[in-house]
Chain A
């Protein structure tokens, strides 16, 4: 089966669905979506059994044509994307705004994200990112009230600026290597005599990718885009669950490509740590349900970049596994947040109480997702976090940094969990399609934890044997962190006014551009000083 169908099938069916006026066309879209998921799973199994696949469009082999490459990691991301989109469509199919235009944009976005994961050519990646930026900003503005239109415009313009940086860097790459194929560039990098020439294009590309994946000073567009009040909750879930991961995936690819010439992992440990800490501080200061989740995404991205840059295999693959886990539980949290906001008709975390009494099913799902993201033993977050930890067990101060980040996550979600308790009468029951979609996602959270070792073994060829003492050890650390977090939240947190001032911080468009230029300038000067 050709890899191109993975990209083209959702887009073609979305187009047919948009143009056709036949009422039952949604059945066709559903079948096509299931087919795409099936192809993705088949491709993944094939890649695992027979090794990576490369396919060229037309007969131009090598670095001349347009290539799609599926290796174990990228094909797993493709499966994850298709799985999440299928769950979202099932979750939302009864809503009134799911009309032809929305479905067209949504399915096109799926094709574009899959293409970003499979693509091997820098200019293809540029085009795909640019188109997906436009599609995403229309999806953010979809309900057309002034706040979401403003947020969507800021998102569109900042991302266009970052893509201009990307294209400029791409020009330098073409000037140096004469090709834009990532495999060919990787092969050519050891032969570059003067690595100084790589600094400028690398700084340009990393600025663009840093903005796409919301690194330290460049994350202020993300909460606006992911947490904007009126965007549909499935759009928020897709953006936070899988679309940001496209940026992180490109970060992985570029670091992998350039590491022979420029090794910048040390600075990215710092940037990742700073992103994680600032992310959870911002998340803790929010009172808005969706904004809290959006800033928590920033924090987790920081953790992922931190893990990727540590330089040991365990941490690296632990971080990759954490990308997948984060996609699952953050999507679950956003979907349930959408349902909670609809039910309570408020977004203020202080006014929402008694979820267990009012919506028991949703509360259980929220609890499972929270257990996942805070890394409770036997849930998927714990597997990836313990893998990251295993890679740095010889450097104690970094290990403490990791525990500190996790403590921040735990405090954030203790705040989030305050919506669960309290007294309230029972609300209406949940629709069956939402029940199925949420159950599948929550089941994936538990499955990723219970069979985590097996998954890691298949995906990355890593053997992690977790003994019972390890498990008890981790459970002990988790309980202690929970206790510290709870005490902090109960007794100190209300007294600290610092969080209140953090809540007021919101950057204007010009200030966001300033952060981009600042990041570019400081990163460039850092590279020039070090190399």
Chain B
């Protein structure tokens, strides 16, 4: 059960909910909300790929094996900024 509910499956589910919202609702506010749901799904997906327990933030003096990959976080900050700009 724990294996099934990982970030990937939850984010795909959220993404599909967003797509359903776009398909079935004609109200433009709800369309924007559905878009925001899709954005959140993507952010969740990026943050949970390549996740492993026990990794530390890549700040200061760490070796490459114990630190998490900082790239998805950096990408998602940009994506959040873009999402805020277009959804509001």
**Which of chain B's residues have a CB closer than 8 A to the CB of A156?**
86
Residues 31-88 (chain B) with a chain A CB within 8 angstroms: 31, 35, 38-39, 41-42, 45-46, 49-50, 69, 71-72, 75, 78-79, 82, 85-86
Chain B residues lying within 8 Å of A161, measured Cβ to Cβ, are 22, 35, 38
Q: Contacting chain B: which of A87-95, A163-171, A246-254?
A: A163-171
CB of B24 to closest CB in A, whole Å: 7
Name the contact of A510 in the complex, choosing from B22, B71, B82 (C-beta under 8 A).
B22
Q: Could you tell me the distance between the alpha carbons of A95 and B49 in the complex, rounded to whole angstroms?
A: 52
A168 near B42 with CB under 8 A, answer yes
Per-position binary interface string of chain B over residues 5-47, scored 1 when its CB falls under 8 Å from any chain A CB and 0 otherwise: 0000000000100110011111010010001001101100110
Query: CB-CB < 8 A to B28: which residues of A?
Result: 153
- Judged by a CB distance under 8 angstroms, whether A493 is at the interface is no
Asked whether, in the complex, the Cβ of B24 is within 8 Å of the Cβ of A160, the reply is: no
When each residue 110-150 of chain A gets 1 if its CB lies under 8 Å from chain B and 0 otherwise, what string results? 00000000000001000100110010000000000000000
Among B24, B38, B69, find the residue whose CB has the most chain A CB atoms closer than 10 A.
B38
Residue of B nearest to A511 (CB): B23
Query: Which single member of B15, B19, B41, B82 contacts A127 (CB below 8 Å)?
Result: B82
On whether the beta carbons of A174 and B22 are closer than 8 Å, the reply is no
* Contact across chains for A130 and B82 when beta carbons are under 8 A apart: yes
A175 in the interface (beta carbon within 8 A)? yes
Chain A residues positioned under 8 Å from B18 (CB to CB): 164
Interface residue range, chain B: 20 to 34
User: Which residues from B are CB-within-8-Å of A178?
Assistant: 50, 69
B71 partner, pick from A174, A509, A513, A514, beta carbons under 8 A: A174
Within 8 Å by CB of B50, from A134, A157, A175, A509, lies A175
With beta carbons under 8 angstroms apart, the residue of A123, A157, A168, A175 that contacts B15 is A168
Most B-side CB within 10 Å, residue of A161, A171, A174: A171
CB pair B23–A164 under 8 Å, yes or no, is no
Q: Is A528 an interface residue (CB 8 A)?
A: no
Q: Choose from B23, B24, B46 the contact partner of A174 (Cβ within 8 Å).
A: B46
* CB neighbours of B42 from chain A (8 A): 164, 167-168, 171
Complex alpha-carbon distance, A168 and B45, angstroms = 8
Q: Which residues of A contact B79 (CB under 8 A)?
A: 167
Distance A131 CA – B82 CA, assembled complex (angstroms): 8
Complex-state Cα separation, A513 to B50, whole angstroms:
31
Point out residues on A near B: beta carbons under 8 Å. Answer: 123, 127, 130-131, 134, 153, 156-157, 160-161, 164, 167-168, 171, 174-175, 178, 508-510, 513-514, 517
7 contacts between A and B (CB under 8 A): A157-B35, A160-B86, A167-B42, A171-B46, A508-B26, A509-B31, A510-B24
| B residues apposed to A, CB below 8 Å | 15, 18-19, 22-26, 28, 31, 35, 38-39, 41-42, 45-46, 49-50, 69, 71-72, 75, 78-79, 82, 85-86
Having A134-B86, A156-B86, A164-B35, one finds 17 other A-B pairs with CB under 8 Å, namely A127-B78, A130-B82, A131-B82, A134-B85, A157-B31, A168-B41, A171-B45, A171-B49, A174-B72, A174-B75, A175-B49, A178-B69, A509-B31, A510-B24, A510-B25, A517-B19, A517-B23
A-B pairs, 5 with minimum CB distance: A175-B49, A164-B38, A513-B22, A171-B45, A167-B42
